[in-house]
Amino acid sequence: MKRTALIFIFTLFTISLMAQKNTPMRAYNLYYEKDFVKAKECIDECIKDEKYAAKANTWLYKANIEYNLALNEYNQRVKDPSYQYVHPTAARESFQAFKKAQELNKNIEATDMYSPFQAMPAMYPMLFIEGVDEITAKNFEAARDVLMLAVESYEIKTPPSYPLKGELYYYCAYVYTMLNDHVKARTYYQKSLDDGSENVNVFVGLVDSYKEEGDREAVFNLINKGLQKDSENALLRVAEADYYFWTEQTEKGLEKLKNLPASVVRSPESAINAANLYIKNDMYVEAEELLLKAYQITPSNTTIAHNLGVCCSNLGEKTFLDAEKIKLESSESVYQSLRKKSDDYLARAAEYFEAALIGNPDDLTVLHRLKQIYLRLLQDDKANAIEQRIKQLE
């Protein structure tokens, strides 16, 4: 009796182990039970097995498991835009698995599962959100890869079931701009317009593209078309001012620059662009005034901090030179007043440059400028500390 009992227990144990073995069928059963997390763990192990990875069914199971994970999270995001994905790459893994299954068997199907033909044209909303999340995280190469999958999905069916009015193509163009691929950026800006975009930023992006080519007529026409859609758009109004400086119509450029909408300070990009036009024309007071308003709204923006540092350091140097010029021609009190004003500007410049270094601590140009400011302010300890940082980097 004891021997029989041991054999029975051993048999049960063996069956239990076999049941727990990672196989595509086990993943399918977990999927059918809607335990998508365990199903994913199982199918991912199967993919590592060459035998299983060569079968279309394996990839179809993975595609559907990932699809349901992605769909569940997409629905959560629709309900709560602040929801953070637990499986942030599920949509792209699903789409790629559908493609792989289709490559291995173009007619692949499974009971209670989507076929590639059914699922792939419907996946672009989920892929789009994954791409935007990667942009938010500044993972531009990953964003490009997933957005290209979204475009592939979007273009399978013409017209798509739910037109995105150019937004998908706009984000693709933006990513390519961030990756310095301006040829592809322009292609997707144009596709965005062709897809019915109402996003004025598409016009801004195309303006930059045509400006790089030196096509003045195209730039002028795009700006005007964009302004017809939104006459108070800050980015377009700055681009309009820039156009006149670019075409050497400085007086008209200054006129446009001085009449920008109040909203320019609420957009860091437009505020920076406008201030740069002032800086190029040595109008540091006007640039500082504009940037200060923008900095109060977005104090974490290190580019604004850097540009404020540029303004204040230039104003400080100019005031210092003014003081030296009148040193022998005016009273000591006037001289000292100008020197104090110069020091105040330089002290503020140092604060802004230190803030800018938070975003790019290895910026040697800023570090050298800071060192000179601290020497001018007779703050030798701070100047020496900056010198040590410079030596470590050079």
Supply the DSSP string of 276-318, one letter for each residue.
HHHHHTT-HHHHHHHHHHHHHH-TT-HHHHHHHHHHHHHHHHH
Please compute the mean of the pLDDT values over residues 47-60 and round it to a whole number.
96
Amino acid at 90: A
Please compute the mean of the pLDDT values over residues 233-253 and round it to a whole number.
95
**Cα(39)–Cα(87) distance, integer angstroms:** 13
Nearest partner of 72 among 24, 39, 25, 115, judged by Cα: 39
pLDDT given at position 4: 53
Please compute the mean of the pLDDT values over residues 237-241 and round it to a whole number.
95
pLDDT given at position 327: 77
pLDDT over 50 (residue 16): no
pLDDT given at position 24: 96
pLDDT given at position 211: 87
What's the CATH number for 163-230? 1.25.40.10
Average pLDDT, the chain: 91
pLDDT given at position 20: 60
CB atoms < 10 A from the CB of 47, how many? 18
pLDDT given at position 92: 97
**Does 163-230 match 232-292 in CATH topology?**
yes
Give 229's pLDDT tier (boundaries 50, 70, 90): confident
pLDDT given at position 377: 93
pLDDT given at position 312: 97
pLDDT over 50 (residue 12): no
Domain spans of the chain, in order of start: 16-143, 163-230, 232-292, 299-394
User: 139-166: string of b/e by CB count within 10 Å (b at 16+)?
Assistant: ebebbbbbbebbbbbbeeeeebeeebeb
pLDDT given at position 340: 94
Q: Is the domain covering 299-394 a CATH 1.10.1740 domain? A: no
pLDDT tens-digit series, residues 180-220: 998 899 999 999 999 999 888 899 888 988 888 889 999 99
pLDDT given at position 81: 86
pLDDT tens-digit series, residues 293-334: 999 999 999 999 999 999 999 999 999 988 888 877 767 888
pLDDT tens-digit series, residues 70-122: 999 999 988 898 888 899 999 999 999 999 999 999 999 999 999 999 999 99
Please compute the mean of the pLDDT values over residues 332-349 and round it to a whole number.
92
CATH architecture of 232-292: Alpha Horseshoe (1.25)
Lowest-confidence pick of 38-52, 225-239, 282-296: 225-239
Strands, E assignment, the chain: none
